[in-house]
Every structure is written in C-alpha cells, then in structure tokens.
Amino acid sequence: MEKEEIRQLIIQELEKIRTHKTKLGQGCAACHVMFSLKNTLNSSEQDCADLVSQVLSEDLKLNEEFIETVEQIHMTERGLGGAFAMRERESKDSYLDVYFANVLDELGTDLAQYSSEILLRKILLAYLSLYIAQTIGVDYHAATEELYYILRKNEKKNFQLDEFIDKLQGRIRRTSRQA
C-alpha cells in the first residue's frame, strides 16, 4: 500500500471516529486507527504503528487532526483530562513543552545524583506502568499501583528488573566501546 493510500485510510478512520460511525466503546481512538491499518495491510501492530507515526510526522495538518480527534474522544466526550481538554491548542502545546523539559531536567538531576542503574530502573518502571495502563485500560496512577503491588508481592519480579537493567547496561557499555 502506498503512503498516500495509508494517509487516506487514516483520514477516513478519523472521520468515522469524529462522526461516531465507528463505535469505540471505551477503546482508544489512536489504537483504532492503527488496528484498522493492521487489518487492511495484514501486517504487525508495530509496523502499522510505525507507518501511522511516519505519515503523521510528514503531514502536520493531519497530525493536528489526529490529536484533535484523540482529544475529542478521550478528553472531551469521556470527560477525562479536566482543564487540559478545554485549553486552546497553543496553550496545550506550551503546557506540554514545559512538562517535556521538566521530565528531562528531573532525569538529568537523577543521573547526576544517583547511579545510572537507579535512573534506568525509574525509566523502566515508568514504561511498565504506561504499558499496563494501555493494555488493561486503567489510568497511569492505577497501573503504577498495580505494578508496585506485583513487585511487593513477588520479589522475583524485582530480580527480573535488576537482570534486565544489568543486560541493558552491559549492552550500552559494549556499544560505547565499539564507537
């Protein structure tokens, strides 16, 4: 399928979502677009997610429409996101820019004060929480609580995290020596 055909599919799916011709239930608007592409192309989720991202990155107007549709469904219609959903796009962008910079500053401070292992663990736990939230359909806070519950309940999970971090650090060291 050509990139223009993929772009058109994204546009069509966004229109169906906006006009409620597609029933999402409590499903994700962005995931619906990606899965529609997956079903059309009979390809992997990751490949289709990459294609959607690539098309949206190359078409800023469509990228705006995409985020507006996601916000319409997830924030405005479902009443999530509170005051953020009511802001103008420029205000939302400024707000997100500030928080993006804050996260990088916080991680930079952690890196300076603690070992890289602590920083990697923090990043890995954040990713796991986000993944759980997306997978089981709960908010990030609830997913984080579920993750910590599992870690407290089963010490083996902590060892698995530590092993993964060790492998990651080893790979980083090998890659930096090769460079």
Task: Kindly report the length of the chain.
Answer: 179
Burial class (CB in 10 A: 0-12, 13-18, 19+), 122: middle
- Vertex 28: Cα angle to 27 and 32 (nearest 5): 95
How high is the pLDDT of residue 155? Answer: 86
Outline where the chain has alpha helix (H).
Answer: 3-18, 29-41, 45-58, 60-71, 82-86, 89-113, 116-136, 140-153, 155-178
Q: How far apart are the C-alpha atoms of 120 and 141, rounded to whole Å?
A: 20
pLDDT at 78: 83
Would you state the structure tokens that stand for residue 77, as one six-digit string? Answer: 């219609």
The pLDDT of residue 167 is 93
Tens of each residue's pLDDT in the chain, 179 residues: 799 999 999 999 999 999 999 988 878 888 899 999 999 999 988 889 889 989 998 998 999 999 989 888 888 888 777 778 788 999 999 989 998 999 899 888 888 888 888 889 999 999 999 999 888 777 788 788 889 988 888 889 989 999 999 999 999 889 888 87
pLDDT of residue 109: 87
* pLDDT at residue number 114: 82
Predicted local distance difference test score (pLDDT) of residue 59: 92
The dihedral sign for the CA sequence 76, 82, 86, 91:
negative
Residue 56 pLDDT: 92
pTM, entire model: 0.64
